[in-house]
Every structure is written in C-alpha cells, then in structure tokens.
Amino acid sequence: MIRITHLSKTYGPVTVLKDISLQVAKGEVISIIGPSGTGKSTLLRCLNLLEQPDGGSIRVDGVDLLDKKSDVPKIRQRMNMVFQSFNLFAHLTALENLTIGPVRLQGLDRHTAEQQAMEILKLVGLAEKAHHFPDQLSGGQKQRVAIARCLAMRPEIILFDEPTSALDPTMVSEVLAVIRRLAREGMTMLIVTHEMDFARDVSSRVLYMDEGVIYEQGTPQQIFENPCKEKTSAFINRIRSLSWRIESPAYDLYAMNAELENFCEKQILPRQTRQHLLLLVEELLLLHGPLLPSTPIDLTIAYSEKKESIELVLEHRGETNLLQQELLPDELGLTIIQHLVQDIQCRRTDDVYRLTISLKSG
Ligand code: ADP
Ligand code: MG
C-alpha cells in the first residue's frame, strides 16, 4: 500500500531522516518507537505532506506523493493523521468537527454527513457528547473526537503521532481501546507511541527508530523480547547507564562515589543497593588498580528499570582476568565481591577482557 524508498529530511545542518525505506501492506498495524528527537514525527509528517522530504520517494498504491502534480488534499484524506494535541476546531461542536471535512472537502450533503458522524461518534463512545464543544470535553474525549473526525474522512490509512502523550494517565486507556478496535477491524495504521505494552499487543510490526534510520524492526515478540541491537535493547528495557574511563592510579574515588550516589538517587534505588554498588565499585577498582596507568579501565553501570536489575561491565586490555582466584592478592576482596554479586561472566575478544557482573537484587 505504502512504499517509502530512501527518504531523507534535513533541517538546516541537522539530518533528521537519513535513509528510510519501508513498505506497508494493507491491514498492517505498525508501531514506531524510539527516543525523542529521532525523527518519528518527521516521518509521519512527511507521509502526510506536512513536510517536504529532501530526497527519496513515497508511493501510495503506486501514486507518487512527491510528484508536483499530485493532489495533496486527496492524499491527506486517504492517509489521515491524528495528532498528540488533538487539533480540534474549538469553535465547532464534536459533531461539527466531524462533518466539516466530509461536507467541504468531499461534497457530502449535510444530512448524510451528520448521520455518518453520529455513527462514528457512537463507535468511539461519544454519541452523547455530539453537541459539546471541545473545551467541555476531557482530554481522552477530545482525542476520541479527533480520531472520529479522522474516521469521518473514510481514510485508508491512519497515522497516529503519540495519541496519548498529552493525556492524564487515567485517560490513556479509553483512547487506546478505540485504536485497538480499529486494529481489529483491519484499519492500516502507523502509530508513534511510548506505550510499550500497547505497541506490543496491537502491532503486527514494530519499528525502532534511532539515528535517523529504522534501526531495527520485527514482530513485537522479536523487538520486545529479543532485540538484536544494543540500542534497541537499552530502549526497551529502559536502561540508564553511567560510565567511567579510569586512566591513572590517582583516580578520584570520592568524585566517582558522588556521581554514583547521584545516579542511584535518580533511579530511586534502595539504600542497600547503593551501598552494595559503592562497595563493589571500590573493590573492583582495588583489584584492577595494578593495571593502571599502562592499561585504562572502562567501567559502566547499567540499570534496567524494566527488569529492575543492575549490571556492571568492566573492560580492560590487561593480560589476565584479575578475578581468577589464584591471582588474587587478597581473599577478602573476592569474598566481598562474591557476596554482592549474583553472576560474573568473563569474555575475552580482540584483546579486551570484559567482565559482566550482575548485582544481587534486594
Ligand atoms: P521525534 O518525533 O522522534 O521526537 P521529531 O521528528 O519531532 O522527533 O524531530 C527530530 C529532530 O528534528 C529534532 O531534533 C527536532 O528538533 C528537529 N526538528 C523537527 N521539526 C523541525 C523544524 N520544523 N525545524 C527544525 N528542526 C526540526
Ligand atoms: Mg514526535
């Protein structure tokens, strides 16, 4: 239905979309996820011709959207968009918001348009509010009217740009329920969303966008349970991390501890976990200290909010894995480490020792 090839978009010096190629079949529900600022909205806006791409092509059923001769209003009706901020006409009632497009743009007579609008308002659960103005409606109701207005144009494809981001948490589910219903009825949809559980169960395909490209895509199961790439995994598991490169034996442990405390506080980690982390970092550095300054040490602490797990990764280019028992100068250090950690894995690739240490939870 939609075929996007090598789409690119630049704002001044910033390349927002680098090289996007994507095909969408009729009836597909595609969720687009990714950190903010990675071009998700820009992609939808290019599809809806609210932005002019710099390169590449977009075809819908073979029609070239970027052709100067193409009928933009007609394309927008076929591929209609729902915005984060509703964009309802404030001076029109819910019903009038739904009839204005079909009457003005599609030449429908008012009576038929109103009948049709009432049917659609019923579908989104808002027939009772037909004569209310937007400011008499809650956020969730406004967004359902916006979806209904979009449906009134009889689109073949709907583009949703974070349809629930402007809503109070209590109103998110009523909007998602409407979108779920459309999915069941076979509507083709592209949905930019931060609602991961929703994306997981409504989509036939999930795109993870980062660095101006479709960084990884797959079925919801692939993306949410088995992402292939590190950035996707970090995003899905809401991993926050803190890294240091230690190059001199005179490293400032107090400054590092302060940063670590700060990090733990931001992630709201329990006091005991903080103490364990501080102790673990200190012991690991003591053990690896002899490598300095000839071999720098890279230390990363990664906290997965979703799994509520903490992982430390220590990398160095030394000759040996210093956590091997027989090499240890002091037994106590190892005992402390063993007491704090759940699992330690050591791998050597390309001269780099990589210790991956999972902290015991609780
Ligand atoms: P997302 O929706 O993934 O958060 P956007 O597509 O909104 O990302 O924006 C991607 C980048 O493009 C951001 O860095 C943003 O600042 C920039 N950008 C978006 N719209 C414009 C614009 N009209 N002019 C200049 N820069 C823009
Ligand atoms: Mg956006």
In this predicted model, what pLDDT tens digit does every residue of 56-74 receive, in sequence order?
999 998 888 888 888 888 8
pLDDT of residue 267: 85
CB 134 within 8 A of CB 99: no
With a 6 A CB cut-off, is 212 part of the ligand 1 pocket? Answer: no
Q: What is the pLDDT of residue 42?
A: 96
pLDDT at 326 (0 to 100): 61
What's the predicted TM-score (pTM) here?
Answer: 0.81
Looking from the CA of residue 12, the nearest atom of ligand 1 is 25
Q: If pLDDT is split at 50, 70 and 90, which confidence band does 55 have?
A: very high
Contact (Cβ atoms closer than 8 angstroms) between residue 217 and residue 223: yes
Q: Is the pLDDT of residue 329 over 80?
A: no
Taking the centre of ligand 1 as the mean of its atom positions, its distance from the CA of residue 12, in whole angstroms, is 11
pLDDT, tens digit, 9 for 90 and up, residues 100-132: 999 999 999 999 999 999 999 999 999 999 999
Using the structure block, give the residue that is written with the tokens 């808002």.
126
The residue among 87, 195, 200, 57 whose CA lies nearest residue 147 is 87
pLDDT at site 20: 95
For residue range 161-210, list pLDDT tens digits in order.
Answer: 999 998 988 899 999 999 999 999 999 999 999 999 999 999 999 999 99
Pocket test for ligand 1, best of 15, 33, 41 (most atoms within 8 A of CB): 41
CB atoms within 10 A of CB 291: 19
The chain-wide mean pLDDT, for the chain, equals 92
pLDDT at 324 over 80: no
Quote the pLDDT of residue 311.
Answer: 92
For the residues 304-321, what does the mean pLDDT come to? 88
Residue 325 pLDDT exceeds 70: no
Cα of first residue to Cα of last residue in the chain, in angstroms, is 51
pLDDT digits over 222-269, tens only? 999 999 999 999 999 888 889 999 999 999 999 999 999 999 998 888
Instruction: Write the CB contacts of 314 (distance below 8 Å, at least 6 apart in sequence).
Output: 284, 288, 297, 298, 299, 300, 354, 355, 357
39 C-beta closer than 6 A to ligand 1: yes
Atom of ligand 1 nearest to the CA of 36: 4
